[in-house]
A and B are shown apart, each in its own frame.
Chain A
């Protein structure tokens, strides 16, 4: 088969081509040894599977090689700088992986009697205490499975609180245009209409215009702070007061909490609820897209409506409130099975205890320092849409590429060939051709200097009009640019045996 590397195999040194498991399987091969099942009379009521499933058979060494080769086609934090704005790709300590696998944690069943899991409940309670202390909030709902489910939790609590007051007239949630897509999607999933919060020329909420949007029809607002442009909403306290005066609640999207941990308590800003992405701020691994974990801190006004279950202190140790009575009488319901993402709780607590109060404050400061360093050093060759210092991420627009024939996407793809993961592109939507760079506190000054040198080099090359170079990047990756239009137009979402092979077999 022809291939771009001119090798017989299609391999390229250490980059090995790897077929699908379905193309490698051989009937009768197996990667586990299991005993022969004793012969018993089936008690499955005559509902047995009749035909084969079609799963491929691989030995253990084949399987290990398969996944090892696949892993080598991935960029990762462990491999290099991953400056994805808004995603917070910071170091993932391995202690946390060791902790979560300890016997007595990794092997607990969620439905064990609570008398046998007092340590687990104590751990959840301890993490809850740290989260409440860091945010300055009186309560926290631990169960949401991810940030987006945390958003559901918060907005559901808001709606429950209005309904408990007999107020059914509030049909609108206000969301800025710069918000993550999950914010409007969440509001809609809770039965609300979404209206936009106006922004000013400084990339923040326009306070006066915002106040005019408020009224008895507004259930609440969802505002990210620091916002998605990487800026602190400096009118945040007035925003909170205004929404409360209008009878609404303040949902804070905590995706960017990592910028201010130990420096600002969101509770002091007048918020009513905020989800915390443990996989961002507290470094539980992103795992190629999940699982996340999204505990939600709640104000006293919203706390009674928290979802089931939750941990409480009892006379004989910790208890779980699992039904809608007693302490749980006003709950809005349940969001997932069992008690929450315990594996992420263990990792996050290990991360927090390692840093301690002082280390977390230092981490926030270093994250902000790194972003401002990048912003300052790239300011001469790239264009920033908003003046002044940023928080944990530096935002640029694509004016510096005007007339070059090179796009934000092209810059990102060229960056890949230099050994860096691209920054976030085309988000937030309020900035044209956005490039959002979040270095995190994990990077050394030397790595940042190299990144800056690369970005300067690429910006200068683009300005010289070498568009062709950019349009063909990346050149050195396991795959070059992929045809996403084809993928969407003729979706192939699973493997099927090739028709020719099947016909040949018949």
Chain B
């Protein structure tokens, strides 16, 4: 087996040095009745060529977004990732290192985490960000739990424009920790009145911007309403590229920003691993979940970086920790930070403008050319279209049969709600060409006829 270095002679010599006759003697603490006498019933070892062929066989049964016009969003977005990103994250010194608990031999990881934290703080307009979370959904749930700790209250208000998966994750944690959540109904036109739901028991209000259905809103007044009642405003951003064009949550008075960073550097990869973003105000730092990297000096007085404030974390605080989280999304945060470094201010704002322009063009072409109606009064790079009463799920299947990944039916995420059944989420990014849009408009026109 190519990964295992020992020869039989090595094994014999080592058993002799240990002073036991066979490997079985090293497993003597395993009760006799549960020792497997032979290998389990699975195929035997295979060479690299055979395994590669087998995995390629799985891949061949899928339609990838790079081989078909794709307009899928709903919390995961296809962007062009510069070749340098994937090259750099595969350097073994990044790929095969552990959590930087030994800072003397981990300055590479620690410095990029410090830069990542700074970039996330700048994008969101917040004071401080952590070293990443699992994904946007779990970051959102952690944000709600943090708001409960900060305010010592146990009632959250969640917008009908928050991604349904994120809502479900919040609901799961609420059930187990016993806090209350006021979930507003799905709100495709963003008409909900969140301020009216806030009272002096509210710990936080959770909104998403751009919303799940695509609308862009200024939540400054909502933030003021929250603060007047002692509640926190949590803003979720799951298309991080939007922050190159849209007013950042920090300028709206957000207290916590939870986000999904997949759009920068991270492959779509059928949904994971992605990279959760988490930012807040300086005064709440000690209530934050997740790893934090901080600056310090070494014994020679040189600048260096370490993981810090770990007295919040499970390996020190155990059952009193701010979260049970152990890992971050290290390698995905590296991909994120490299992509954003390559873009810089110029590239990132241009990328955002390009995305908005593509989406605006697509919205026009679908309304004029496909006879569908754009529901939104505002959007960044994703919007909702209404299919004249046709089932969006069926339309998506018809498009897929023509090898067009035309959009995400809202009913997939909000099943059992007839009023949402004809809504399709459509996203456009810099990767979509004019030909893609022509193909979608034509196919959609036929499907909704």
Q: A75, B324: Cβ atoms under 8 Å?
A: no
B51 contacts the other chain (Cβ, under 8 Å)? Answer: yes
Q: A234, B30: Cβ atoms under 8 Å?
A: yes
Q: Which residue of A lies closest to B107 (CB)?
A: A73
Q: B51, A287: Cβ atoms under 8 Å?
A: no
B436 contacts the other chain (Cβ, under 8 Å)? Answer: no
Q: A487, B306: Cβ atoms under 8 Å?
A: yes
Q: What residues of chain A lie closer than 8 Å to B340, measured between beta carbons?
A: 55
Q: Which residue of A lies closest to B310 (CB)?
A: A488
Q: A72, B108: Cβ atoms under 8 Å?
A: yes
Please report which residues of chain B, range 321-358, place their CB below 8 angstroms from some CB of chain A when the two chains form the complex: 321, 323-332, 334, 338, 340-351, 353-354, 356-357
Q: Given contacts A291-B332, A357-B41, list 18 more A-B pairs with CB under 8 A.
A: A4-B300, A25-B344, A27-B345, A67-B338, A75-B106, A78-B93, A97-B90, A110-B271, A119-B60, A151-B324, A182-B314, A307-B172, A335-B172, A346-B55, A369-B11, A444-B10, A478-B105, A487-B308
Please report which residues of chain A, range 46-91, place their CB below 8 angstroms from some CB of chain B when the two chains form the complex: 46-50, 52-58, 60, 63-64, 66-79, 82, 84, 87, 89, 91
Q: What residues of chain A lie closer than 8 Å to B90, measured between beta carbons?
A: 97
Q: Which residue of A lies closest to B399 (CB)?
A: A113
Q: A480, B268: Cβ atoms under 8 Å?
A: no
> Would you mind naming 15 contact pairs between A and B with Cβ atoms under 8 Å apart?
A4-B302, A44-B380, A52-B345, A55-B122, A115-B401, A146-B326, A152-B324, A188-B320, A264-B34, A265-B36, A336-B272, A353-B46, A361-B39, A445-B14, A474-B104
Q: Which residue of A lies closest to B217 (CB)?
A: A47
B297 contacts the other chain (Cβ, under 8 Å)? Answer: yes
Stretch at the interface among B151-159, B241-249, B441-449: B241-249
Question: Lowest 4 CB-CB distances: which A-B pairs, in order?
Answer: A119-B61, A338-B271, A45-B378, A78-B92
A111 contacts the other chain (Cβ, under 8 Å)? Answer: yes
Please report which residues of chain B, range 257-302, place their CB below 8 angstroms from some CB of chain A when the two chains form the complex: 260, 267-275, 285, 291-300, 302
Contacting B341 at CB < 8 Å: which of A31, A146, A360, A482? Answer: A31
Q: What residues of chain B lie closer than 8 Å to A46, measured between beta carbons?
A: 218, 378
Q: B331, A287: Cβ atoms under 8 Å?
A: yes
B230 contacts the other chain (Cβ, under 8 Å)? Answer: no
Please report which residues of chain B, range 67-91, place their CB below 8 angstroms from some CB of chain A when the two chains form the complex: 67, 70, 72, 74-76, 78, 82, 84, 86-88, 90-91
Q: What residues of chain A lie closer than 8 Å to B52, measured between beta carbons?
A: 95, 98-99
Q: Which residue of B lies closest to A183 (CB)?
A: B318
> What is the CB-to-nearest-CB distance from A175 to chain B, in angstroms, rounded to a whole number?
8
Q: A75, B315: Cβ atoms under 8 Å?
A: no
A257 contacts the other chain (Cβ, under 8 Å)? Answer: no
> What is the CB-to-nearest-CB distance from B177 to chain A, in angstroms, rounded to a whole number?
6
A198 contacts the other chain (Cβ, under 8 Å)? Answer: no
Q: What residues of chain A lie closer than 8 Å to B42, measured between beta carbons?
A: 130, 133-134, 352, 356-357
Q: B55, A99: Cβ atoms under 8 Å?
A: yes
Q: A145, B299: Cβ atoms under 8 Å?
A: no
What size tier do the contact residues of chain A reach?
Answer: 35 or more
B439 contacts the other chain (Cβ, under 8 Å)? Answer: no
Please report which residues of chain A, range 134-170, place their CB below 8 angstroms from some CB of chain B when the two chains form the complex: 134, 145-149, 151-152, 156, 159
Q: What residues of chain A lie closer than 8 Å to B345, measured between beta carbons?
A: 27, 52-57
Q: B317, A356: Cβ atoms under 8 Å?
A: no
Q: B271, A487: Cβ atoms under 8 Å?
A: no
Q: What residues of chain A lie closer than 8 Å to B35, measured between beta carbons?
A: 263-264
What size tier do the contact residues of chain B reach?
Answer: 35 or more
Q: B217, A45: Cβ atoms under 8 Å?
A: yes
Stretch at the interface among B21-29, B181-189, B194-202: B21-29
Q: What residues of chain B lie closer than 8 Å to A145, measured between beta carbons?
A: 134-135, 138, 272-273
Q: What residues of chain A lie closer than 8 Å to B161, measured between beta carbons?
A: none
> What is the CB-to-nearest-CB distance from A115 to chain B, in angstroms, rounded to a whole number?
6
Q: How far is the CA of A250 from the CA of B234 in the complex (A)?
A: 37
Known: A74-B93, A108-B268, A234-B30. A356 touches B44 (CB 8 A): yes
> What is the CB-to-nearest-CB distance from A299 to chain B, in angstroms, rounded to a whole number?
16
Q: A53, B244: Cβ atoms under 8 Å?
A: yes
A385 contacts the other chain (Cβ, under 8 Å)? Answer: no
Contacting A481 at CB < 8 Å: which of B247, B299, B308, B327? Answer: B299
B228 contacts the other chain (Cβ, under 8 Å)? Answer: no
Contacting A389 at CB < 8 Å: which of B29, B112, B293? Answer: B29
Q: What residues of chain B lie closer than 8 Å to A146, measured between beta carbons?
A: 134, 325-327
Stretch at the interface among A16-24, A210-218, A454-462: A16-24
Q: What residues of chain A lie closer than 8 Å to B111, measured between beta carbons?
A: 18, 20, 70, 73
Contacting A365 at CB < 8 Å: which of B23, B299, B338, B344? Answer: B23
Contacting B348 at CB < 8 Å: which of A55, A357, A445? Answer: A55
Known: A156-B176, A265-B34, A421-B102. A37 touches B59 (CB 8 A): no
Q: How far is the CA of A361 from the CA of B4 in the complex (A)?
A: 11
Stretch at the interface among A372-380, A396-404, A498-506: A372-380
Known: A147-B326, A265-B34, A337-B169. A68 touches B88 (CB 8 A): yes
A314 contacts the other chain (Cβ, under 8 Å)? Answer: no
Q: How far is the CA of A162 from the CA of B119 in the complex (A)?
A: 45
Q: How far is the CA of A353 from the CA of B61 in the complex (A)?
A: 19
Q: What residues of chain B lie closer than 8 Å to A55, measured between beta carbons?
A: 119, 122, 340, 343-345, 348
Q: What residues of chain B lie closer than 8 Å to A483, measured between beta carbons?
A: 296-299
Q: What residues of chain A lie closer than 8 Å to B25, measured between beta carbons?
A: 389
Contacting A57 at CB < 8 Å: which of B112, B128, B346? Answer: B346
Q: How far is the CA of A82 from the CA of B173 in the complex (A)?
A: 36
Q: B70, A109: Cβ atoms under 8 Å?
A: yes
Q: How far is the CA of A340 from the CA of B115 in the complex (A)?
A: 28
Q: A184, B319: Cβ atoms under 8 Å?
A: yes
Q: How far is the CA of A255 from the CA of B359 in the complex (A)?
A: 46
> What is the CB-to-nearest-CB distance from B330 to chain A, in angstroms, rounded to a whole number?
4
Known: A47-B247, A54-B345, A112-B72. A479 touches B168 (CB 8 A): no
Q: A181, B315: Cβ atoms under 8 Å?
A: yes
Q: How far is the CA of A311 from the CA of B299 in the complex (A)?
A: 54
> What is the CB-to-nearest-CB distance from B448 to chain A, in angstroms, rounded to a whole number?
17
Known: A54-B122, A291-B134. A29 touches B96 (CB 8 A): no
Q: How far is the CA of A350 from the CA of B3 in the complex (A)?
A: 13
> What is the CB-to-nearest-CB distance from A278 to chain B, in angstroms, rounded to a whole number?
11
> What is the CB-to-nearest-CB distance from A221 to chain B, in angstroms, rounded to a whole number?
15
Known: A32-B347, A67-B88, A122-B61. A355 touches B104 (CB 8 A): no
Q: How far is the CA of A262 from the CA of B104 in the complex (A)?
A: 37
Q: How far is the CA of A46 from the CA of B215 in the complex (A)?
A: 11
Q: Which residue of B lies closest to A485 (CB)?
A: B296
Residue-by-residue, is A194-219 near B (CB-CB < 8 Å gives 1, otherwise 0)? 10000000000000000000000000
Contacting B296 at CB < 8 Å: which of A113, A292, A482? Answer: A482
B191 contacts the other chain (Cβ, under 8 Å)? Answer: no
Q: B298, A480: Cβ atoms under 8 Å?
A: yes
B430 contacts the other chain (Cβ, under 8 Å)? Answer: yes
Q: How far is the CA of A45 from the CA of B214 in the complex (A)?
A: 11
Q: How far is the CA of A82 from the CA of B92 in the complex (A)?
A: 13
Q: What residues of chain B lie closer than 8 Å to A13, measured between beta carbons?
A: none
Q: What residues of chain B lie closer than 8 Å to A366, measured between beta carbons?
A: 4, 6, 11
Q: What residues of chain A lie closer than 8 Å to B357, measured between beta carbons?
A: 37-40
Instruction: Pick the most buried of B136, B269, B328: most chain A CB atoms within 10 A of its CB.
Output: B269
Known: A53-B244, A63-B338, A156-B172. A493 touches B51 (CB 8 A): no
Q: How far is the CA of A354 from the CA of B60 in the complex (A)?
A: 20
Q: What residues of chain B lie closer than 8 Å to A315, measured between beta carbons?
A: none
Q: A334, B103: Cβ atoms under 8 Å?
A: no
Contacting A63 at CB < 8 Å: which of B108, B308, B341? Answer: B341
Known: A346-B55, A350-B55. A369 touches B26 (CB 8 A): yes
Q: How far is the CA of A194 from the CA of B319 in the complex (A)?
A: 7
Contacting A115 at CB < 8 Å: which of B23, B34, B341, B397? Answer: B397
Q: A112, B63: Cβ atoms under 8 Å?
A: yes
A243 contacts the other chain (Cβ, under 8 Å)? Answer: no
> What is the CB-to-nearest-CB distance from A236 to chain B, in angstroms, rounded to a whole number?
7
Contacting A356 at CB < 8 Å: which of B45, B58, B74? Answer: B45
Please report which residues of chain A, range 312-359, place their CB below 8 angstroms from some CB of chain B when the two chains form the complex: 322-323, 332-344, 346, 349-350, 352-359
Q: What residues of chain A lie closer than 8 Å to B96, measured between beta carbons?
A: 76-78, 89, 92, 285-286
